[in-house]
Amino acid sequence: MEKRVTIYDLAAKLGISIATVNRALTDKPRVSVETRQRVLNAAIEMGFTPNALARSLSRRPIRLAVVAFTSFPEFHNSFIAGVKASVDELRDFNVHVDTFSFDQGPTNSPYGAAFLTETYTSIAADHYDGVLVCGKTSDQTRVLSEKGVVVATAINDIAPSLRSFCVKYNGHVAGRMAAELLWHCGDKTRPVLIASGGEPQYSIHTEMVDGFKEQLSVTPLHLANIYTHYDNPRLAYEETMRVLTEYPTLGGIYVNSFNSLGVIKAVVERGLAGRICLITSDIYQELRGYIQAGIVSASIFQNQYQQGKQGLRLLYHSIADGIKAPDTTMIEPQIILRSNLELF
């Protein structure tokens, strides 16, 4: 059986006292912000579970809910797989996890609004201890926080006053990476576009757009336009067809969401495959073929599996052990190319 990480292991790794580690983990005073963050990061990295087994046997089960609310089951199924990996690791610690997944098409629809209202109302009424929300930004989480449910978010954030912490990938850096990739793989004299998933406040898509624009001071492409498809595949296809007519000399497109298939198909149907540099996000089965064929130059991976795994673990420890999670835990983006496609 694998040896469990202890508070002594954390202290030895960081070269600090056991008392300091304990104060940092329990959010006690007399610990600097920098030291507390080092301890929390090490606890996450090492899979630290503080005295959880003994305490878990003497208390009621901790009940957690996971809400997977995205337009693409293949996207949020990876997130759920990460959640399940953490649940497996916590199987001896008296925790029960229920998952609520949306599978009715685009989230920006009446079905999506109804799903959120019904799901959050049910979670609040059933007195769950905590909830990890993946997907669309929504102030409807207010009903959860008002009922004392600990709310954590992944993928997209919400107002900090409505949640305990957030796990997400570094959208700002991803946007910068996309701009540099377009600079290297496309015709620098031709304009580029961003096909954005949309969602205004607290959206990961907004962070990607901001990062892309910032990078233009270093790699000065001409950003002709940004069009929004709200993660609706039909709308993404139609909007791409429209802008390809509007910008006949287009050199590249950055798709900053999982919703890239409509964009790719429009480019292919216009006979522009290989003539326009396409940078997409994440990975799915059909996208693999387009990368392999050279139609998509690169994709930027946000690793929703790790977001689910770390988010669930942090949520459990914040409730069971009183360990205050970092306000924001960043997952760094990775570049998927034809040469390393087999790794993803």
Question: Each residue of 111-120: pLDDT tens digit?
Answer: 999 999 999 9
Give the residue-averaged pLDDT of 70-90: 94
Cβ(129)–Cβ(98) under 8 Å?
no
Segment among 43-57, 164-178, 222-236, 257-271 with least mean pLDDT: 43-57
Same domain flag for 176 and 160: no
Same domain flag for 269 and 281: yes
In a domain, residue 116? The reply is yes
Q: What pLDDT is attached to residue 1?
A: 43
Same domain flag for 282 and 175: yes
In a domain, residue 13? The reply is yes
Same domain flag for 221 and 193: yes
What is the CATH classification number for the domain harbouring 179?
A: 3.40.50.2300
In a domain, residue 197? The reply is yes
**280 strand-pairing partners:** 299
Give the residue-averaged pLDDT of 118-147: 90
Q: What percent of the chain stands above pLDDT 90?
A: 70
Same domain flag for 297 and 178: yes
What is the CATH classification number for the domain harbouring 43?
A: 1.10.260.40
What are the Cα distances from residue 124, in Å, to 42, 110, 148, 177?
A: 33, 21, 8, 40
Question: Cα(97)–Cα(61) distance, rounded to whole angstroms?
Answer: 10
Cβ(50)–Cβ(323) under 8 Å?
yes
Instruction: Indicate whether 8 pLDDT > 80.
Output: no
In a domain, residue 183? The reply is yes
Same domain flag for 67 and 160: yes
In a domain, residue 55? The reply is no
Instruction: Name the more confident of 235 and 40.
Output: 235
Same domain flag for 195 and 231: yes
Same domain flag for 157 and 247: no
Closest by CA position to 255, among listed 270, 265, 269, 245: 265
Helix (H) or strand (E) holding 98: strand 95-101
Mean pLDDT of the chain: 91
Domain that holds residue 175: 171-302+337-343
Question: Each residue of 15-28: pLDDT tens digit?
Answer: 998 778 878 887 77
Question: Cα(134)–Cα(124) distance, rounded to whole angstroms?
Answer: 17
In a domain, residue 53? The reply is no
Question: Each residue of 35-71: pLDDT tens digit?
Answer: 988 988 888 888 876 655 445 545 678 999 999 999 9
In a domain, residue 84? The reply is yes
Same domain flag for 157 and 78: yes
In a domain, residue 324? The reply is yes
Q: What pLDDT is attached to residue 285?
A: 95
Same domain flag for 292 and 258: yes
Q: Count of residues for the chain?
A: 344
Total count of domains within the chain: 3
Question: Cα(331)–Cα(317) distance, rounded to whole angstroms?
Answer: 19
Segment among 24-33, 160-169, 301-310 with least mean pLDDT: 24-33
Q: What pLDDT is attached to residue 135?
A: 86
Closest by CA position to 186, among listed 258, 261, 301, 279: 279
What are the Cα distances from residue 36, in Å, to 79, 177, 273?
A: 28, 30, 50
Same domain flag for 291 and 178: yes
Q: What pLDDT is attached to residue 44?
A: 82
Question: Each residue of 249-307: pLDDT tens digit?
Answer: 999 999 999 999 999 999 999 999 999 999 999 999 999 999 999 999 999 999 999 99
